[in-house]
Amino acid sequence: MKQVQAVPEAIEALLAEGFWPRDNGAAQLQNLNSLVSPEAVRAFAPEEARLFLYPPPFITVRDEMAHNRFWSDPRSASSEIDPDRTLIIGDFGLGSDAPIALDYSRHSETPSVIRLRWGPDGNHWVEVAPDVRTFVAYLKA
């Protein structure tokens, strides 16, 4: 299997301009000041208002499964994704158990962006954007 690209070009550009956090210290500042407006977040996640972007290196769901019990819980809906081809890039803020990820399962070069959406009939992974460039457009709106 081809190795997934750890940081897509569009995210590299955000890292270079200082928009996307490069390290844990910069990421933690998002708890004080969100990098993305609530309106921009609601454009792709209507029930959410905050976004927390993780710094690279992004890790796969499979790697998270090794040390985070959430991923073995049915509420994670991990059976709906390919854990080896899904990279976690963020969530919806403090205490969030609703991750945002790059999904390389359909396109090894151009991942879609997905999120875990919690619902009364169970949790499911839904597409946020068909590619990273579209997701970046949401972030910068």
Say yes or no to pLDDT of 4 above 60: no
Strands (E), the chain: 52-53, 59-60, 86-91, 100-103, 112-117, 124-129
Query: Any idea where the domains of the chain sit in the sequence?
Result: 9-139
- Tell me the per-residue pLDDT of 12-50, one tens digit each, with 9 for 90 and over: 999 999 999 999 999 999 999 999 999 999 999 999 999
Which has more confidence, 106 or 77?
77
Contact 35, 53 (CB under 8 A): yes
For residue 57, whether the previous peptide bond is cis, meaning omega lies within 30 degrees of 0, is yes
* Residues 71, 29: Cα–Cα separation, whole Å: 26
pLDDT at 2 over 80: no
Q: Is residue 86 scored above 70 in pLDDT?
A: yes
Residue 1 has pLDDT above 50, yes or no: no
Q: 116, 18 in Cβ contact below 8 A?
A: no
Confidence of residue 5 (pLDDT cuts 50, 70, 90): low
